Amino acid sequence: MTAATRSNDRDIIATQVTTAIARHREQAGFVRLVAEELPPRQRPAWLAVAACLASGNVADGIAAAEASLAPWVPLFASPSGDPRLPARILQAAAGPRSGGHTKWATIVYPAVTAVLAIGLLAFLSVTVLTTFELIFRDFGLELPLLTRAMLAIRPFVASIWQPLMAVAVIVFVGRWILTWRLSRSASRTADFTRCLARLVASTMPPQDAVAVAGRLVAAQPIDTAAPRRPLTYAATAALDCDPHAAAILLDAIAAAHEDLCPGSSGAGPLLVGPALIAVLAVLVGFVLLGVFLPLMHMINALS
């Protein structure tokens, strides 16, 4: 987009701030109370909104919106005297619904489990099984099939555990990066679309609503004639409906993008860790049986 478009976006923000201050000056005290309950890092932006509402200073309000737009969105989306405004202010203060949807434990848990499994197998192959192989050879024991199979696999495991560990680390780091990128894109689109729904429901002109929502998620200026992320083609089509229907459709689109956040729903990722633990238990059991069967035979023969 051009610099003129960016300037036009700022004009839209300035107009909305002016209207919000004129409509909602009586909310200054409530906004201040909300601000005092917020963490220190979030508090200044909300205190600035409360001060602008109390003083009616539009210039300071525009500067505050340029610095942080999120506290202003519920004021933009509510007509004068709207009883839903306090709830919207509290919802905005609580933060975006989609942020933090990615459960990093769903990535770290299986990664750590896999690395520990490979490390344990390497330890057994390089140390424990080597020692027992020498013991069995010195005693000249006739080994069971399971033990022979285990000792036949041992050199292979001992030779590949290092590259296997490296591959596992690379795979999980790559998945971590991909998950972060997908989650960030889906969360940003969901936050943009949900904000757009609130603004459209207030009968704000669609192009102005797109400009405000775009500034909220720090997107480049967006034109509804050529939609691009975070404005999707589905959201653009919803804007052609009447404001009430458009808001419902946009909320549904936002919910769909929230569901795309990796780890946001479903138990599938959480089952990877237990599955790896089960595989590890089977392998360790295989090694233990392979080691103790010859020992039990030797004890029986001595007794």
Among the candidates 67, 95, 123, a domain finishes at: 95
Following DSSP, what letter does each residue of 217-278 receive, concatenated?
Answer: TTPPP--TTS--TTS-HHHHHHTTS-HHHHHHHHHHHHHHHHHTSTTSS-SHHHHHHHHHHH
Identify whether residues 229 and 284 lie together within a single domain: yes
Q: Which among 65, 16, 3, 62 is positioned nearest to 207, based on CA atoms? A: 16
Sign of CA dihedral 145, 150, 156, 160: positive
Q: Are 45 and 139 in the same domain?
A: no
Alpha-carbon distance of 256 to 103, in angstroms, equals: 17
Among 39, 65, 95, the domain-final residue is 95
Residue range 108-141, pLDDT digits in tens:
767 777 777 778 778 877 787 888 878 777 777 7
Task: Please indicate, yes or no, whether residues 179 and 280 belong to a single structural domain of this protein.
Answer: yes
**Residue where a domain terminates, one of 52, 75, 95:** 95
Same domain, yes or no: 145 and 284: yes
Q: What is the mean predicted confidence (pLDDT) over 156-173?
A: 79
Query: Do 153 and 83 fall into the same domain?
Result: no
> Do residues 128 and 84 both lie within one domain?
no
Same domain, yes or no: 205 and 268: yes
Q: Are 176 and 187 contained in the same domain?
A: yes
* Residue 273's pLDDT band (cuts 50, 70, 90): low
User: Residue 272 has what pLDDT?
Assistant: 65
**pLDDT digits 0-9 by tens, 184-240:** 788 888 889 999 998 998 888 888 899 888 888 877 778 777 788 798 889 999 998
Q: What is the mean pLDDT of residues 23-50?
A: 93
Domain count, the chain: 2
* pLDDT of 7: 45
What is the mean predicted confidence (pLDDT) over 248-274? 71
Claim to verify: residue 40 and residue 85 sit in the same structural domain: yes
Instruction: Looking at the structure, tell me whether residues 153 and 85 fall in a common domain.
Output: no
| Same domain, residue pair 61 and 146 | no
User: Using CA of residue 230, residue 236, residue 239, residue 241, what is the dihedral sign?
Assistant: negative
pLDDT: is 112 or 101 the higher one?
A: 112
Query: What b/e sequence results for 263-302 when a residue is b if at least 16 CB atoms lie within 10 Å of its CB, and e otherwise?
Result: bbeeeebeebbeebeeebeeeeeebeebbebbeeeeeeee
Predicted local distance difference test score (pLDDT) of residue 4:
37
What is the residue-averaged pLDDT of the chain? 81
What range does the domain containing 128 cover? 98-303
Q: Which two tokens stand for residue 297?
A: 């035979």
**Identity at 42, one-letter amino acid code:** Q
* 151 and 278 assigned to the same domain: yes
